[in-house]
Structure 1
């Protein structure tokens, strides 16, 4: 069971689920609505995480990925495949329980994750499913409200930037292994240095949109977030004297987390 849970990409799964729940709370979805949003997002993310490891099991085994349970044989491929499809099947009614239009939007986002796993991760369009899926998350939350409003324009834009930044950040540590296995997404085609710059640029752009685009700019939390982003970038420049790769990864992860906090803090401006 522990190996199965490790194969679902627990870190990203929990972060995205927590973000969906937090947005549901701040827009006023209530207890039941928030639980439905959280359950739907969790099921979708579990299906994406498990399918990713199941689809990549041969490449991960060839690369001797110690962090992948399917690569070291600690969990059976059949178990992971069944878990992925079970989570996907469960995601459908849970998504629609949030409202038909909201549910369809969320299922499109989940389909983007599967499309990435199946094909797009090996193409120059690899950031596209992240842009669409993360951009649609605020819409899934707001479309479940009684009057079914679309979110303010800045939320899908910031979500798309965050999603693409997360994609770049996630693949940077594995660029060499991925290239050896024939995976050539956009970050791989750009190369390590350009991929690091791309990740930081996307996440900083998300910071600016989240901080400045909403009419209610979030007050002290937004100011603190921008200051924190600036400090993270400054710290990265200092740390880069020792290791450019580790500094870049640390900065992008830090900025991504700051952006998520700022995004949730701006949740009252979503509609």
Structure 2
């Protein structure tokens, strides 16, 4: 019976939705950058391993606070996964992430591992500080570099792409904590969103994600497409409507905007000369 509970709870404890979203983004970006099927697969595997390690680490680090607030939606609190199993899973995923990251090249691998380390630092310490947004900005901002540094010549990504990814990551942080701000405050987690409160955090989430979309629309060379202008306007309206509501709706809106941004990015890259990403 314990093995069945562990098998059922482990997938839910890794934060599967954001993990899958980030992995798919990395795979799409690698394919658009010309990494090829093998390179794209290795990139996706490395990112997936990193995201799994971060997700499991997050739930394990939050166990005491989740128990205090009665978070029955968390597998560790509900008893569908054990702390030991989640700890082992996080460690194994982190160990796998190292060779998978380095398979893209020493510099590319080092950059990705810095991003994963930033996410672990958030889980273990920084989420309760005023710089809680910084690990998200660093981890997301370095993801395009992990992709491009694996290309021949190891080029760095253009600044507009790094800025768009970093803004999206910081915005996702503000949106993600909105449903739990009061519980976080009660258990001593005082990151920047908790210090600002739900109203200001929602405003920051919308502004940062809108800035990310604007960087993708206006940053690349050439004229912005009709899709880009339409997405920018739709993003502004959608975030204005959703980021004023409580619950997980703002976070889901951020994920939806991220998916639309990926499509915009692929369209823009397709219009650039080969190689597509280096400026």
TM-score, with length taken from structure 1? 0.92
CA drift of 1:9 comes to 0.3
Q: Decide which of 91, 107, 111 is 1:105's aligned counterpart.
A: 111
> Are residues 1:50 and 2:52 paired?
no
* Count of aligned positions: 266
Counterpart for residue 80 of structure 1: 86
Moved more, 224-233 or 50-59: 224-233
Offset from partner CA, 1:44-77 (integer Å, 9 cap, x none) = 0000000000111111111111221001111110
Moved more, 190-199 or 246-255: 246-255
Task: Tell me if the contact between 1:165 and 1:198 (Cα under 8 Å) persists in the aligned partners.
Answer: yes
TM-score, with length taken from structure 2? 0.89
Q: Decide which of 271, 274, 277 is 1:270's aligned counterpart.
A: 277
CA drift of 1:2 comes to 2.5
Whole-Å separation in 1 of the counterparts to 2:98 and 2:34:
23
Task: Tell me if the contact between 1:47 and 1:83 (Cα under 8 Å) persists in the aligned partners.
Answer: yes
The change in CA–CA distance for 1:51 and 1:248 in structure 2 (over 3 A counts) is: closer
Counterpart for residue 260 of structure 2: 258
Offset from partner CA, 1:153-179 (integer Å, 9 cap, x none) = 111111110000000010011101111
Whole-Å separation in 2 of the counterparts to 1:80 and 1:48:
11
Matching of residues 114-125 of structure 1 within 5 Å = 114-125=120-131
CA drift of 1:229 comes to 1.3
CA drift of 1:259 comes to 3.0
Task: Tell me if the contact between 2:160 and 2:215 (Cα under 8 Å) persists in the aligned partners.
Answer: yes
Whole-Å separation in 2 of the counterparts to 1:132 and 1:230:
24
The change in CA–CA distance for 1:72 and 1:27 in structure 2 (over 3 A counts) is: same
Please state whether the residue corresponding to 1:75 is helix, strand or coil. coil
Give structure 1 stretches of 5+ with no counterpart: none
Counterpart for residue 199 of structure 1: 205
Moved more, 214-223 or 20-29: 214-223
CA drift of 1:249 comes to 5.4
The change in CA–CA distance for 1:106 and 1:252 in structure 2 (over 3 A counts) is: closer
Please state whether the residue corresponding to 2:246 is helix, strand or coil. helix
Counterpart for residue 246 of structure 2: 245
Whole-Å separation in 1 of the counterparts to 2:223 and 2:92:
41
- Root-mean-square deviation (CA), in Å? 1.9
CA drift of 1:207 comes to 1.1
CA drift of 1:245 comes to 2.6
Matching of residues 1-271 of structure 1 within 5 Å = 1-217=7-223, 219-233=225-239, 235-236=241-242, 244-245=245-246, 251-268=253-270, 269-271=276-278
Task: Tell me if the contact between 1:61 and 1:72 (Cα under 8 Å) persists in the aligned partners.
Answer: no
Please state whether the residue corresponding to 1:2 is helix, strand or coil. helix
Offset from partner CA, 1:190-217 (integer Å, 9 cap, x none) = 1111101010110111111110011045
